[in-house]
């Protein structure tokens, strides 16, 4: 009897194994890929039953070692249940990557089986360090004026792949020394605190920092690149330095004005005077292609439009013209309108209008100059009349006789 039972049990045992499933860890995927040190990742393991029979009581265990660990609450061994013939099951794991992980391919082990783990598979996960990178991506000001202090709001952004910590922003020193020993003075310098501090910036995070910039009084009007240094640490404690450049245009406005220098002789109704006008530019920029136009009621201006050219900053020029005043001009101050057309530092056309007051007095109030002019005019007219009388009375008859005699001789 025993000889019959034992072979029967052996056959049953073989049959049990013959009808079992055959599960294997078929593939592994993860995200993000590649993964960076100090970050979290999700792993998906695909398990396949490579048999024509069901795989019952399947289990899977993920074995981790440096630089990988399971996230809190995650378990290494999980039940698969029953997997149908040639079917698959996907199991998810949550992992952490150590901060000190080095770049490269790192192995991870997966064990699977029915009731007990009997098969092992090894997969690789790529680790690639992602470093932070800081840039100045915005500025509240792009133009400054000489001699002025202006607050400027800067926007700093982390455009890199990991966190930046203990960020210090500095505007480069007001003077530098070249390799040849030449001292270079900077026209744009910072005032106030020498540095600004930002605790940290995550990936794609921005922060605003306000600095005060001052432009030297004698700075040339042009475009400048202001170097700004950004010092910080990455998540591994490695110090890094970035230099960004802030584009600033130093610009200023012309400020053109005019006054009457002299009126000779003094203005009076019916008279003509030479008017000298002084123009000056008290602005910090040149006024270019200056053209003036003169106009005024009761006035006949000899040269109402004149070209001056460039009126440089802190400079002046003069021009003169003759102005005849109508006999109906009132005895009072009347305006001489001066329109000044010019182009500014950006070659934008501008116009300034000035009212220059001319004091018109009566001929008697003008004094000897006015009376003298009247007398000179009367005397000149009298002499012209006398000359005409002499010509008609004496010269013309004699010339007529002379011409007649000459004809008779012929």
Write the CB contacts of 131 (distance below 8 Å, at least 6 apart in sequence): 160, 161, 162, 234, 240
Whether 260 and 205 map to the same domain: the answer is no
**pLDDT band for position 163 (50/70/90)?**
confident
227 and 184 housed in the same domain: yes
In a domain, 372, yes or no: no
Residue 25 is predicted with a pLDDT of: 94
CB 211 within 8 A of CB 154: yes
- Burial zone of 129 (CB within 10 Å; 0-12 exposed, 13-18 middle, 19+ buried): middle
Between 37 and 303, residue with greater pLDDT: 303
Q: What is the CATH number of the domain that holds 108?
A: 2.60.40.10
Which one, of 67, 104, 100, 35, lies nearest residue 238 by Cα?
Answer: 100
- The pLDDT, as a whole number, for residue 76 is 95
Parent domain of 58: 2-127
The CA distance from 167 to 155, in Å, is 13
Distance, C-alpha 222 to centroid of its chain: 14
The last residue of a domain, from among 250, 277, 306: 250
**Pseudo-torsion of CA 342, 347, 349, 350, nearest 10°?**
-60
Q: Which of 42, 80, 48 is nearest to 61 (CA)?
A: 80
The pLDDT, as a whole number, for residue 11 is 44
Cα dihedral 381, 385, 388, 389, rounded to 10, equals -160
- Same structural domain for residues 117 and 199? no
List, for residues 167-194, the tens digit of each pLDDT value. 999 987 766 666 676 776 788 888 888 7
Cβ-contact 134, 156 below 8 angstroms = yes
Token pair belonging to 239 = 């110090």
Average pLDDT over residues 301-321: 91
Quick one: 255 exposed, middle or buried, by C-beta within 10 A (0-12, 13-18, 19+)?
Answer: middle
Domain membership flag for residue 403: no
Whether the pLDDT of residue 323 is over 90: the answer is: yes
Structural domains in the chain (count): 3
Q: Residue 378 half-sphere exposure, CB side, CA atoms within 13 Å?
A: 6
Q: Name which of 240, 236, 227, 165 is nearest 198 in CA terms.
A: 165
Q: How far apart are alpha carbons 101 and 129 in whole angstroms?
A: 8
Contact criterion met (CB below 8 Å) for 169 and 156: yes
Same domain, 243 and 141: yes
Q: Residue 9's pLDDT is what?
A: 45
Query: For tokens 């009731």, what's the residue?
Result: 115
Give pLDDT tens digits for 189-246.
888 887 899 999 998 899 999 999 999 888 888 899 899 999 999 877 889 998 888 9
Is 378 inside any structural domain?
A: no
407 within domain boundaries: no
Q: Which residue has the tokens 């004026």?
A: 145
**143 and 229 co-located in one domain:** yes
Helix (H) or strand (E) holding 162: none
pLDDT of 185 reads: 76
Please list, in sequence order, all residues whose beta carbon lies within 8 angstroms of the beta carbon of residue 133, skipping any fewer than 6 positions away: 158, 159, 160, 242
pLDDT band at 19 (very low <50, low <70, confident <90, very high): low
> Percent of the chain at pLDDT above 70?
83
Structure-model confidence comparison of residues 391 and 255, the more confident one: 255
| 390 in any annotated domain | no
pLDDT digits (tens, 9 = 90+) for 246-298: 999 998 888 999 999 999 999 999 999 999 999 999 888 889 999 999 999 99
On whether both 238 and 269 belong to a single domain, the answer is: no
Residue 157 maps to a domain: yes
Q: Are residues 273 and 223 in the same domain?
A: no
Q: Are residues 147 and 223 in the same domain?
A: yes
pLDDT at position 386 over 60: yes
- Strand, coil or helix: what is 314? coil
Asked whether the predicted pLDDT for residue 398 surpasses 80, the reply is no
CB atoms < 10 A from the CB of 171, how many? 23
**Mean pLDDT of all residues in 145-152:** 90
Q: Is residue 371 part of a domain?
A: no
Residue 23 contacts residue 114 (beta carbons within 8 Å): yes
Residue 379, H or E segment: helix 368-390
Q: What is the pLDDT of residues 36-83, one digit of tens each?
A: 888 899 999 999 999 999 999 999 999 999 999 999 999 999 999 999
Both structure tokens of 9: 């049990």
DSSP string, 195-254: -EEEEEE-TT-EEEEEEEEEE-TT--SSEEEEEEEEEEE-TTS-EEEEEEEEEEEE----
Domain boundary among 111, 127, 143: 127
Reported as a pLDDT band with limits 50, 70 and 90, residue 387 is low
Which residue did the predictor score with more confidence, 4 or 135?
A: 135
Instruction: Indicate the DSSP class of residue 302.
Output: S
Residues 152 and 224 in one domain: yes
How many C-beta neighbours within 10 Å does residue 316 have? 14
The answer to whether residue 300 is domain-embedded is yes
Domain shared by 246 and 267, yes or no = no
Same domain? 241 vs 278: no
pLDDT of residue 390: 63
Looking at the chain, the number of H-run helices and the number of E-run strands are 4, 27
Q: Residue 277's beta-bridge partner residues?
A: 260, 319
pTM of the full predicted structure? 0.53
Q: Do 158 and 204 fall within a single domain?
A: yes
Strands 239-250 and 143-144: parallel
pLDDT category at 364 given cuts 50, 70, 90 is: confident
């Amino acid at each position: 009897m025993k000889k019959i039972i034992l072979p029967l049990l052996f056959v049953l045992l073989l049959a049990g194994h013959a009808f079992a499933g055959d599960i294997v860890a078929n593939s592994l995927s993860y995200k993000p890929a590649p993964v960076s040190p100090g970050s979290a990742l999700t792993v998906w393991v695909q398990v396949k039953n490579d048999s024509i029979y069901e795989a019952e009581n399947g289990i899977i265990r993920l074995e981790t070692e440096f630089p990988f660990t399971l996230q809190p609450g995650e378990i290494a061994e999980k039940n698969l249940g029953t997997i149908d013939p040639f079917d698959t099951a996907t199991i998810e794991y949550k992992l952490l990557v150590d901060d000190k992980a080095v770049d490269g391919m790192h192995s991870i082990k997966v064990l699977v089986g029915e009731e007990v783990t009997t098969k092992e598979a090894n997969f690789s996960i790529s680790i690639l360090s992602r470093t932070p990178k800081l840039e100045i991506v915005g500025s509240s000001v792009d133009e400054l004026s000489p001699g002025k202090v202006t607050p400027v709001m800067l926007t700093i952004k982390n455009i890199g792949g990991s966190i930046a910590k203990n960020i210090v922003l500095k505007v480069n020193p007001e003077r530098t020394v070249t390799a040849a020993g030449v001292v270079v003075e900077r026209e744009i310098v910072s005032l106030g605190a020498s540095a600004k501090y930002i605790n940290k910036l995550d990936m794609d995070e921005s922060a605003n920092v306000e600095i005060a910039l001052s432009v030297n009084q004698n700075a040339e009007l042009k475009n400048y690149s202001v170097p700004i240094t950004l010092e910080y640490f990455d998540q591994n404690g490695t110090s890094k330095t970035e230099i960004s450049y802030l584009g600033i245009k130093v610009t200023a406005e012309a400020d053109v004005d005019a006054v009457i220098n002299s009126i000779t002789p003094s203005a009076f109704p019916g008279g003509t005077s030479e008017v000298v006008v002084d123009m000056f530019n008290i602005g910090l920029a040149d006024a270019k292609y200056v053209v003036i136009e003169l106009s005024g009621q009761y006035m006949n201006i000899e040269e109402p439009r004149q070209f001056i050219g460039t009126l440089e900053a802190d400079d002046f020029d003069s021009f003169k013209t003759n102005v005849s005043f109508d006999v109906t001009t009132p005895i009072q101050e009347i305006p001489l309108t001066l329109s000044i057309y010019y182009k500014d530092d950006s070659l934008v056309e501008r116009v300034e209008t000035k009212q220059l007051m001319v004091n018109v007095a009566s001929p008697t109030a003008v004094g000897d100059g006015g009376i003298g002019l009247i007398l000179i005019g009367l005397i000149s007219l009298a002499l012209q009349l006398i000359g005409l009388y002499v010509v008609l009375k004496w010269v013309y008859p004699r010339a007529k006789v002379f011409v007649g005699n000459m004809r008779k001789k012929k």
